Amino acid sequence: MSLSAGRPESDLRLCGKHFYETHGIAKKSGPRRRHLSPLERISSLLPQEVLSPEVEQLREQTQQEQDGDTSRDFTQEAGTVSKLEDLETHVASEAAEVPNTSFHDEETLPGECFLTFGELVIAEYRKKRRVEFRKMFQLEAGSRLQSSWGIILHDDIAGQPAGCFLKTSRGVSISIRRASLEDYVLYMKRGPAIAYPKDAANMLMMMDVTEGDCVLESGSGSGAMSLFLSRAVGSKGSVLSLEVRKDHHKRSVLNYERWRKSWSLHRREQWPDNVEFHNADLCTASPLLSGRAFNAIALDMIRPHLALPTVLPHLYPGAVCAVYLANITQKDGQFHTKQAPTPDDDETDRETEEPSNDGGSPSFGRVPYIARPHPAQMSHTAFLVKLRKYRH
């Protein structure tokens, strides 16, 4: 009768484990033995005297082949490990000898300038084609760029080429590049809303502004359109910019000077000082315009039609006046009040189906009606009106 009869298999495993632990015998944890061939299995069951010489020869031949394969595998594995170790040692020694100056190994293009302190820089992080982080800042010694993805010291950014990637303290790669004029007007400090780059480009095309032109601008705002006009007319042209509000006038001058300073550090030459800012109302600025003529006029005002009689005499015939309108107020809100029609004398008994507004307030509330393509504005920024002067 077997000792294990009637006992579960799990109990047998536990008994075996207890036996090894009690007697201090450790199980062998060496490599697994190879599988026996059918010839070896059968021959191991028979006595050695019974085996024929042919069977013994086959057993020896099979054993030699398997031993040779095993030795070759061990040799290949040992050679692969030694090669990997040599390669890792070689790479580690090279990394220890050569510093991380990959951007300096590339050939520097003629006229290429590295980032310096005082320049305006854009830091950007994208994840799955989406901009997760974007910030414009000025490089300053001892400062640092802080974000949710880590910190980068300004000292590490200075001296790098524009358009590089730097890792933050958390190991996230963030792109670093110089701020273009488009970037600057979008991320600079604002007073009023700016003329967006797409609208400014269309206005420049409408007015056909070129180098050497003299342009009049009303509504300096935050200085965005002034900068685009300044670059378009160049050092040979000039821009006369008027702003009725003092705080807006101050903001536009500061933004203009800040861009000029950053641009000169990169280009190693001065941005043309061709914009003349004035804190004045265009409707009453006839003495300021006296003796001047303009190749184009750009108006960004609440009521631009009031300034046309003042500026049109100073515009060259055939030239264009481009008007930037954030919205078009077509009617006063009081005309949109829903009221019941007044019945005639012979129709006093007739009921009207038109509902009346008992409150007597406009249907749009206290806010005047404003004409826009749609109440919810996603991509619409302004209406652009093109006026051309003709002489009859």
Domain boundaries, the chain: 120-179, 191-329+370-388
Q: Quote the pLDDT of residue 380.
A: 72
What confidence category does residue 326 fall into, taking pLDDT thresholds of 50, 70 and 90?
Answer: confident
User: Pairing state of beta strands 238-243 and 275-279?
Assistant: parallel
Alpha-carbon distance 230 to 239, whole Å?
7
337 and 360 Cβ atoms separated by less than 8 Å: yes
318 and 381 Cβ atoms separated by less than 8 Å: no
What confidence category does residue 390 fall into, taking pLDDT thresholds of 50, 70 and 90?
Answer: very high
- Judged against a pLDDT cut of 50, whether residue 332 lies above it is answered with no
Mean pLDDT for all residues in the chain: 77
Across 52-56, 91-95, 375-379, least confident range: 91-95
Per-residue pLDDT reduced to its tens digit, 210-249: 999 999 999 999 999 999 999 999 999 999 999 999 999 9
Per-residue pLDDT reduced to its tens digit, 41-91: 776 776 766 667 766 777 676 666 655 555 555 455 555 545 544 544 444
339 and 357 Cβ atoms separated by less than 8 Å: yes
- Joined together, the tokens standing for residue 378 give 């996603």
User: Residue 344 class from Cβ within 10 Å (0-12 exposed, 13-18 middle, 19+ buried)?
Assistant: exposed
pTM of the predicted protein model? 0.63
Per-residue pLDDT reduced to its tens digit, 285-311: 999 999 999 999 999 998 899 999 999
Phi, psi dihedrals of residue 130, rounded to the nearest 5°: -120, 140
Residue range 193-204: mean pLDDT, rounded: 92
Q: Quote the pLDDT of residue 50.
A: 65
Alpha-carbon distance 265 to 259, whole Å?
10
164 and 103 Cβ atoms separated by less than 8 Å: yes
Tell me the CATH number for domain 191-329+370-388.
3.40.50.150
N residues, the chain: 392
Q: Quote the pLDDT of residue 38.
A: 74
145 and 135 Cβ atoms separated by less than 8 Å: yes
- Judged against a pLDDT cut of 80, whether residue 138 lies above it is answered with yes
Q: Quote the pLDDT of residue 33.
A: 66
Alpha-carbon distance 224 to 220, whole Å?
8
Percent of the chain past pLDDT 90, that is, above it, reads 51
Per-residue pLDDT reduced to its tens digit, 239-288: 999 999 999 999 999 999 999 999 999 888 999 999 999 999 999 999 99
Alpha-carbon distance 253 to 277, whole Å?
7
Q: Which of 183, 185, 188, 194 is nearest to 221 (CA)?
A: 194
What confidence category does residue 100 fall into, taking pLDDT thresholds of 50, 70 and 90?
Answer: very low
Most trustworthy range by pLDDT among 22-26, 108-112, 278-282? 278-282
Amino acid at 148: S
Phi, psi dihedrals of residue 380, rounded to the nearest 5°: -75, 130
Cα–Cα separations (whole angstroms), residue 226 to 68, 74, 209, 263 = 85, 77, 13, 15
270 and 278 Cβ atoms separated by less than 8 Å: no
- Joined together, the tokens standing for residue 15 give 């008994």
Phi, psi dihedrals of residue 128, rounded to the nearest 5°: 55, 50
C-beta neighbour count of 154 within 10 angstroms:
18
Q: Which of 297, 342, 348, 343 is nearest to 323 (CA)?
A: 297
Given the candidates 3.60.21.10, 3.40.710.10, 1.10.10.10, 3.10.330.20, the CATH classification of the domain at 120-179 is: 3.10.330.20
Q: CA angle 190-385-300, nearest 5°?
A: 25
